[in-house]
Amino acid sequence: MESGGNSLPSGPDGVKRKVSYFYDPEVGNYYYGQGHPMKPHRIRMTHALLAHYGLLQHMQVLKPTPAKDRDLCKFHADDYVNFLRAITPETQQDQLRQLKRFNVGEDCPVFDGLYSFCQTYAGGSVAGAVRLNQGGSDIAINWAGGLHHAKKCEASGFCYVNDIVLAILELLKVHERVLYVDIDIHHGDGVEEAFYTTDRVMTVSFHKFGDYFPGTGDIHDVGYDKGKYYSLNVPLDDGIDDESYQSLFKPIIGKVMEVYKPGAVILQCGADSLSGDRLGCFNLSIKGHAECVRFMRSFNVPLLLLGGGGYTIRNVARCWCYETGVALGIELDDKMPQHEYYEYFGPEYTLHVAPSNMENKNSRQLLEEIRAKLLDYLSKLQHAPSVQFQERPPDTELPEVDEDQDDGDKRWGPDSDMDSDDDCKPLPSRVKREYIEPEHIDPASNMMEIDEPRIVVEQNNSNKTSDQHLETKS
């Protein structure tokens, strides 16, 4: 088992990295429903920008194999996975008790092809982790992934399956320690909760805190038992700008990398922390957001980049396109090339957008107090934890297929899910954008028991579902 640290050749940050990019051309067809802010269509828009900026030719483009039932059940409860596989818009009225039990139906609606959607985005994240484990790539990217709110037994915050937890479990087969960093505006509660009692995974979440979904992520929440001080939370207020954000991100993450020495890193790049997001209230520029990617890349540690939130979809596509360029070490022209979604980006037709003049409610004193508190927590970690060497579980078998570039670049007509960013109706109750009271979470309820790696013998399970493809929006 690798001990972590700089497992890739060291060198200047400008050095090219081997990048694998996972994309299923069907993912943009799934549709959460009229008025819902989550639109998987943004993944297709991102892919179009990558194609027309010429970035696809600089990385390996792979179509992920959908995750199987047994893959999802490595974290999620069997009955929850069975429910997701079986539920349809036509049958949901007959299963109201189950819908309530699994928190499906409001901000996590039932839509056509729901389970196939979950298999697709989870498959990309797990395949990215496998590729990093095998040394086939320095950086793996799955912009369809990053759905960090899903719990072991329930959906939450537009997320049904927690692909991040599944990817971390895959990475733990090879690496003693895995670092998870979350720059979505919402707290990465599902991932933190899963690994709250272990020191083999460190989670660090930068998020809006205070009367904001999901209501968790206080600076004093630091983990429990063996996991104490291995969960870090950076609670932020409205209007934080690039300079303020980086004044926390770089010293905290720099110290984490020094003390924890992870063998692999997952960075969840939720774009709802950008200025002007429909559900967000931060004021980051795309370059400021991407500086987090650039900084993580500089450590030369295997890196998995995932998507997440982001609800002004033209800016989501801009952001993840630019961050793909950062991963590749390629600076992109601000003038946007003509492509099939060009009209989304007017009147500027540029890759970057200026932040607004909104007030930054994060005072220098507040930022200094947060930084000092978190660095104090990190000082309590004496050394990077290790685990006893033993035979590791076999890699998940996910035979990826090279995505045919022509097929991958096909687009559907403007009638599929070309909803404008501003035409959505408000959703009824418990929606991610609404302010809710923090809910108490039992720190022992959804933990993963992974203090020691276990060998998982995978049976040849032939449970397969038909590919139901929908119009979906993310």
Of 453, 452, 474, 439, nearest to 193 by C-alpha is: 439
- Cα-Cα end-to-end distance for the chain: 37
213 neighbors 280 (Cβ within 8 angstroms): no
Q: Which residues are annotated as a binding site for substrate?
A: 107, 157, 311
Give catalytic residues, as residue numbers. Answer: 149
CA 59 to chain centre: 20
Q: Cis bond leading into 393, ω under 30°?
A: no
Q: Which amino acid is at 170?
A: E
Of 391, 329, 305, nearest to 129 by C-alpha is: 305
Give the pairing type, strands 303-306 and 264-268. Answer: parallel
38 neighbors 310 (Cβ within 8 angstroms): no
Q: Which residues are annotated as a binding site?
A: 107, 157, 184, 186, 272, 311
Provide the β-strand partners of residue 32: none
- Bin 112: left if φ > 0, else alpha if -120 < ψ < 50, else beta: beta
Q: Which residues are annotated as a binding site for a divalent metal cation?
A: 184, 186, 272
With tokens 């926390």, the residue in question is 248
Q: Which amino acid is at 89?
A: P
Of 179, 161, 137, nearest to 21 by C-alpha is: 137
> Widest CA span of the chain, in angstroms?
59
Provide the β-strand partners of residue 231: 203
How many residues are recorded in the chain?
474
- Contacts with 375 (C-beta within 8 Å, 6 or more apart), sequence order: 251, 252, 255
Instruction: Provide the sign of the torsion angle of the four alpha carbons 419, 425, 429, 433, taken in this order.
Output: positive
Q: In what order do the strands lie in the sheet with 231-236?
A: 231-236, 201-208, 178-182, 264-268, 303-306, 139-142, 19-22, 60-63, 401-402
With tokens 């939450």, the residue in question is 156
